Copies of this chain bind each other. A is one copy, B any other.
């Protein structure tokens, strides 16, 4: 899958999604960030809906499960309610959140973040892709710049439940289908720009260089080494760009991003300090300037709601017996930002080899079915509650 947020394929899948939920008798609202809310009436429609949400956008080299399983499971739960003519007390909503991946428009979980008050609407609208296109202009282009206010106040929910593939190896290692997610680790993204000197590769003695790419290479190694030396933390550099892209001219400018995560906010502060100190040390030794060291995203550790998690726990006991694992998510999810406003919980399902953000991403039909059943059970229990 390469369904980057707000591209033509995203437009098509959104149109498909709207058709499907309308066929289930839902009313559809699109908000100012393009989030789509499909609502099925309950017996007390003065209550905000209980939502089941995730995302249909993917990474550029993405799989067919990350996010998509969450929306399709919600859709299946909705259809099951229809098929069995179940009348819930509160209305039930299925939500497709915009730009969860953050691949095209950093940061991740952008539109659930606006809804949850982590970002202003202006911030959400003005994020740009690599070619400079904004979220707002792309929403308008594909016809999904809605007029419903993008906030919990303007468009409230009662709770948010999300099924997602684990994206890591823990469930598979323990031979379990399903995990009960109690929270999400702390994460930061950085944008770093280095400035050295363009020079001729064939004539400039090695000791007279301010070789920006060599300096970046040392930093990438140091960033990895720092995370390895700090148990409970991760640090990765995946995006790099060197200019001027000429084989015989030393790069004079290098841009890269860091993805840093840790099991606690305090540990992430410590990791950040070590990463920055290590990079500044390398830069000063190499005669290269750190022109920009910008924390472009900061997402503190999340703890999900006890009651919502308990509904998931009860549901998974019913579906899977005692076979489940309580766990903390390594990845961010839209539930991180809904959790700031409403009771939220998540269900993980096993994925093959723990591999995600990759076309080989895979979960079995049986595991997906288990996740969807746990989701529906949790939502009905919450509705009961």
Q: Chain A: residues with CB nearer than 8 A to chain B?
A: 59-61, 101-103, 106, 108, 130, 166-169, 185, 187, 189, 197-206, 208, 211, 213-214, 216-218, 220-221, 224, 227-228, 234, 236-252, 257, 259, 261, 329-332, 354-359
Structural contact, A108 and B203, CB atoms closer than 8 A: no
Chain B residues in 8 Å Cβ range of A216: 217
Q: Is the CB of A239 within 8 A of B245?
A: yes
- Which single member of B167, B239, B251, B257 contacts A200 (CB below 8 Å)? B167
Question: What chain B residues lie within 8 Å of A200 (beta carbons)?
Answer: 167-168, 330-331, 356-357
Of A189, A201, A234, most B-chain CB atoms within 10 Å: A201
Which residues of chain B have C-beta atoms less than 8 A from A248's C-beta?
Answer: 59, 101-103, 108, 189, 238, 259, 331, 357
Q: Are A214 and B203 in contact (CB under 8 A)?
A: no
Given contacts A202-B330, A202-B331, A206-B227, are A249 and B103 in contact (CB under 8 A)? yes
Look across to chain B and name the residue whose beta carbon is closest to the beta carbon of A218. Answer: B221
- In the complex, 14 of the A-B residue pairs with CB atoms within 8 angstroms, ordered by the A residue number, are A60-B245, A60-B246, A61-B252, A106-B247, A189-B247, A189-B248, A198-B357, A198-B358, A200-B356, A201-B236, A201-B357, A214-B224, A217-B217, A217-B218
Known contacts: A218-B221, A354-B208. The answer to whether A201 contacts B238 by CB under 8 A is yes
Q: Which residues from chain B contact A239 at a C-beta distance below 8 Å?
A: 242, 245-247, 251
Contacts A167-B203, A168-B204, A203-B330 given; does A61 touch B358 at CB 8 Å: no
- A61 CB contact (under 8 Å) in B103, B224, B244, B332: B244
Alpha-carbon separation in the docked complex, A236 to B201 (Å)? 6
Chain B neighbourhood of A201, CB < 8 A: 234, 236, 238, 259, 261, 357
Q: Which of B60, B202, B234, B245 contacts A185 (CB 8 A)?
A: B202
B220 x A59 contact (CB < 8 A): no
Q: Is the interface of A mostly helix, strand, loop or mixed?
A: loop
A299 to B246, CA, bound (A): 18
Which residues of B are found within 8 Å of A60, using beta-carbon distances? 243-246, 249
In the complex, given contacts A169-B208, A213-B238, A247-B259, what are 13 additional A-B residue pairs having Cβ atoms less than 8 angstroms apart? Answer: A59-B198, A59-B244, A60-B244, A60-B245, A102-B247, A166-B203, A187-B202, A199-B356, A199-B358, A202-B332, A206-B228, A213-B237, A238-B251
